[in-house]
């Protein structure tokens, strides 16, 4: 008996649309966070007149941009964790700053939540469409890439 899911052509098309939309939303919100960070810390509401070294906070955001553009599943997974650092900064600054800086922090919070939802939907949709065999193959491929041993415990079959 085959364990591959029976997906109708309509389901495949809707999965492809969801993957494409979530990818575009993830890339857009990540680029938005980069642009927001640059504008915020250099011109709009820097901590010091003329800009501040806090602008360097956008550098780590440029690292996953290439992975998202190349549609690498691993990048989507770890971005869903890293985004919470920027969300936390947004919450702290929205609470403690005043004026434009607090409003920009609100925009940062919204972009972080959008990015998290987009990468989560992207990963879930791609894994669901791929089926269990593809998920296992992806795990083995990633383990080989990083030089780690594959999971010694096979997944439970239902």
Q: Burial letters for 140-157: b for 16+ Cβ neighbours within 10 Å, e otherwise?
A: eeeeeeeeeeeeeeeeee
Is 71:77 a contact under the CB 8 Å cutoff?
no
pLDDT in tens, 113-124: 999 999 999 999
Separation of alpha carbons 144 and 55, rounded Å: 36
pLDDT in tens, 77-106: 999 999 999 999 999 999 999 999 999 999
- Tens of pLDDT along the chain (158 residues)? 444 455 555 667 788 899 999 999 999 999 999 999 999 999 999 988 888 899 999 999 999 999 999 999 999 999 999 999 999 999 999 999 999 999 999 999 999 999 999 999 999 999 888 878 877 887 788 788 888 766 555 666 65
In the 3-class helix/strand/coil scheme, how is 131-152 assigned residue by residue?
A: HHHHHHHHHHHHHHHHCCCCCC
Separation of alpha carbons 109 and 142, rounded Å: 31
Is the model's pTM score more than 0.85? Answer: no
């Amino acid at each position: 008996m085959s364990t591959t899911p029976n997906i109708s052509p309509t389901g495949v098309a809707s999965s492809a649309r969801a993957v494409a939309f979530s990818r575009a939303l993830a890339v857009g919100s990540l680029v938005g966070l980069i642009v927001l960070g640059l504008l915020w810390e250099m011109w709009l509401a820097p901590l010091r007149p003329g800009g501040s070294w806090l602008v360097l906070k956008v550098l780590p955001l440029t690292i996953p941009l290439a992975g998202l553009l190349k549609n690498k599943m691993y990048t989507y997974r770890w971005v869903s964790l890293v985004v919470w650092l920027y969300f936390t900064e947004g919450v702290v600054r929205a609470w403690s700053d005043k004026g434009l800086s607090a409003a920009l922090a609100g925009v940062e919070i919204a972009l972080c939540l959008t990015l998290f939802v987009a990468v989560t939907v992207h990963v879930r949709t791609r894994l669901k469409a791929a089926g269990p065999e593809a998920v296992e193959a992806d795990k083995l491929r990633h383990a080989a890439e990083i030089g780690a041993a594959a999971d010694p415990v096979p997944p439970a079959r239902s």
